[in-house]
Amino acid sequence: MQHDGVGSSPMISTAAVQLIHEYTGRGPTKAKTLINEDLVTIVLADTLTTAEQKLVENGLADRVLQLRHDYQVTMREDLVAIVERQLGRRVIAFMSQNHIDPDLAVEVFVLEPAEAG
């Protein structure tokens, strides 16, 4: 499936949540994927595990953010593969960030520009 326009993709959201669950033992409870030309953004909510929440409560939010970064580096190839498979386009850049309060994460994919015409 070629996708060149603006829209959303529940299939990408679902696959990303499942992948995060495989890596962390718990997936986000909310996810939304937005697609705009050459940019795909997945916004995830309620991402932290119970253990991570306890670490945050004990003043270790920086350690949790580092751990989440490590997860994302490890998951990079799998996340990129989800987007490429669903959209039929190559991802040329991937960026990821987490936020503690509120508990949100964002995965951003830059797609190779679509061929004109």
Cβ atoms of 106 and 44 within 8 Å: the answer is yes
Rounded CA Rg of the chain: 15
H-state helical runs in 34-60: 50-57
Two structure tokens written together for 55: 């670490």
- Answer whether residue 116 is part of any domain: no
Phi, psi for residue 55 in degrees, rounded to 5: -60, -45
- Answer whether residue 20 is part of any domain: yes
Number of domains in the chain: 1
Reported as a single tens digit per residue, the pLDDT across 28-78 is: 999 999 999 999 999 999 999 999 999 999 999 999 999 999 999 999 999
Reported as a single tens digit per residue, the pLDDT across 74-108 is: 999 999 999 999 999 999 999 999 999 999 999 99
- Answer whether residue 117 is part of any domain: no
- Domain span including residue 76: 6-111
- Answer whether residue 93 is part of any domain: yes
pTM of this structure: 0.89
